Amino acid sequence: MENKTRNEGNNNIIIQGITDSTITLEVNGVTQEIQNEMASLNALLERINTQQVEIAGKIYALGELGQADLGLKKTFNVFIIKKLMFALAEHGLVHAQTFLDRTKSIEGWENNSRVLTRAKQIISNAFVSVIGIQLRKIIAIGQQSFSEEKQETYIKTCYQAAENTIQLLNFTLISVFWDVQKISNYELNEAETEILSLFFDDSIGRNLLNDVTLLEVLLNIFEKNEIPLPLKELKELNVERFKQNCSRIQKLESLLEKSQHSLITCFEMEGQLTEFLTHLILFMNYDMLSVKSGVYDKKRTSLPKYIQSYIELGIEQKFNESTEVLNILKIPVVTNSVLICNKQSKDGVCINLSPFVIDYNTQVLEKGAKICFFFSKGLDGKSIDYRFLEDNTIENVPYSNMLKENIKMEDLMRDNRNHIKLKFDIIIEQFEAAKNEVLKNSSIRKMEE
C-alpha cells in the first residue's frame, strides 16, 4: 500500500508506505521505520506532539486514527510485549536475550501466537510479583474479543499497573527512610513535610500524580541527606521524563472517567505504560515474600537458628497459593510481614514493607496470600483502609485497642477472633510509629514545639 500523509502543524509527517510488518515515515525530512501497529504510530505522534495527520486530502484527528482503515494493525499487547522483551534483554535478563536470539529468523514473531505465548510468560515472570501479575491481566484482556467493556477494562488495568508500581516504589523508600530516621535526625522542610503528612493522613486516596509527587520528594530527601538508595538502579531514573509519562497516563485515565475514551486511548495507554515500565525496568531485579511465621530453635548440642516460613509472591503463587517455603537463618526473622528483596543480593537483606503493604491472609490466620496496599486513613482517624491488589476492593481495618490494662497477651492469643484484632492493632500502631518517626524533625513538629 502506498500512501502519502501530511500534517501541516509543527511537525511534517509523510507516511511513505505501509507493509504487513512496518510503516515507513518521513518526519521533518528524516525517514524512519516503525512497527506496523497502531500503538507504535501513536507513540511516535505522541512523542513529537502531533495531534492530527492528513491522508489523501482528509485530516484525521489523533482520536480518529483507530477507526480509519489505513492498513494499520490494531492488535492489543504486541507493542508492549516487543518493547519490554528488548528492554529486559538489554538490562541483562538471560531468558529474554535467549528468546530474541532464537526468534531472529521468525519474521514478525510478535504476531505469531505460538511464539507470543512464550514471550508473555517471560515478561510476566520477569517483573516483581505485583507488577508481573498485573501485566498478565493486561495481556489476558488484550486477547479478549473486541467490545466496549474490553476497552474500559484494558485502560483501567494499565492505569492500575502503573499505580501499583509507583506505590510499591514509594512504600520501599518510606520504609527505608523510617528505619534510617530511627537513628538519625534528618530535617524536613515545609514542602517535604506537607507531602509526607498528606501521605500518612490522607482519608480520600491518591492518584498517580499524587504518587509521582511523593516519589520526587522522597528522592530529593535521599539525595540531599546522602542516604543510599535502597534500589540503587533509581539513580538512572530520568525524573522529568518520568513525570511527563505519568501525567499522560493520568490524562488517559481521566478520559475513561469522562466517557471520552476510544480505541485509540487503549493504544495510547499501552504505549505510555510501556514507557513507564522501561523507566522502572529495575523491578526485574526484585522478588517479594510474605513471611508467615518465624520459630526460634536452640538445642543443647547446636547453635541457635531461626526457622522462617514464607510464601514467594508472584505468578506461580497464583496457582499454588498455599505452598509455604522454609528457610533456616542465623539471625532473627521478621514475621507477619511483606518483604522486597534483591535477587542478586548475596547477604539476603530484604526491605520490610509492612505496614504499608500487608498480607491480609497472614493477619486473619489463613493460608495463602492476599496482598493489600495502604490506601488511606479511615474517616475516624484511627482505622486504615487497605486495597486488595487482586480486585481493588477496599477493606477498612479498625483499631480495637486490644492491649488494654490487665489483659494478658496469652489470653488474647487463645481466642482467634481476639488474636486477629490484636494483629491488626499492631499493624495500625506500626503505621503511627512510622508517621511519628518520619515526621519527627519536620516543620510541623517545630511549630508545635
Per run of 10 residues, the mean pLDDT along the chain (length 449 residues) is 43 69 76 77 73 62 60 78 94 94 84 83 91 92 88 95 97 97 92 95 92 97 95 93 94 90 87 94 93 72 71 62 64 80 77 95 90 94 94 93 73 80 93 95 60
Position 170 scores a pLDDT of: 98
Position 311 scores a pLDDT of: 84
Residue 299 lies in a domain: no
Residue 334 lies in a domain: no
The answer on 127 and 24 residing in a single domain is no
Residue 412 lies in a domain: no
The answer on 102 and 48 residing in a single domain is no
The answer on 111 and 61 residing in a single domain is no
Position 58 scores a pLDDT of: 61
Domain boundary among 284, 299, 324: 284
Supply the pTM of this predicted model.
0.85
CA distance 389 to 373: 7
Q: Do the beta carbons of residue 262 and residue 63 sit within 8 Å?
A: yes
The answer on 269 and 148 residing in a single domain is yes
The answer on 90 and 61 residing in a single domain is no
CA distance 10 to 123: 37
CA angle 391, 393, 398 (to 5 degrees): 140
Measured N-to-C along each axis, helices 148-182 and 263-279 cross at an angle, to the nearest 10 degrees, of 20
Residue 420 lies in a domain: no
CA angle 233, 238, 244 (to 5 degrees): 135
Range of the domain at 50: 13-67
Nearby residues of 213 by Cβ (< 8 Å), 6 or more positions away: 195
Cα end-to-end span (Å), the chain: 74
Residue 339 lies in a domain: no
Residue 22 has what DSSP assignment? E
Residue 169 lies in a domain: yes
Position 308 scores a pLDDT of: 66
The answer on 82 and 60 residing in a single domain is no
Position 443 scores a pLDDT of: 63
The answer on 168 and 122 residing in a single domain is yes
Position 7 scores a pLDDT of: 44
Contacts 24+ apart (CB under 8 A), 262-266: 262/63, 262/66, 262/67, 262/151, 263/66, 263/67, 263/74, 263/151, 264/38, 264/42, 264/62, 264/63, 264/64, 264/65, 264/66, 265/63, 265/151, 265/155, 266/66, 266/76, 266/151, 266/154, 266/155
**Domain count within the chain:** 2
The answer on 227 and 106 residing in a single domain is yes
The answer on 176 and 36 residing in a single domain is no
Residue 134 lies in a domain: yes
The answer on 101 and 61 residing in a single domain is no
Domain boundary among 28, 47, 67: 67
The answer on 197 and 51 residing in a single domain is no
CA distance 37 to 119: 18
The answer on 55 and 190 residing in a single domain is no
CA distance 102 to 110: 13
CA distance 206 to 375: 8
Output the nine-digit C-alpha cell for 337.
510481614
Domain boundary among 233, 257, 284: 284
CA distance 324 to 309: 6
Residue 273 lies in a domain: yes
CA distance 133 to 125: 8
Grid look-up 496469652 returns 410
CA distance 227 to 186: 10
Q: Do the beta carbons of residue 53 and residue 9 sit within 8 Å?
A: no
261 HSE (CA, 13 A, CB side)? 27
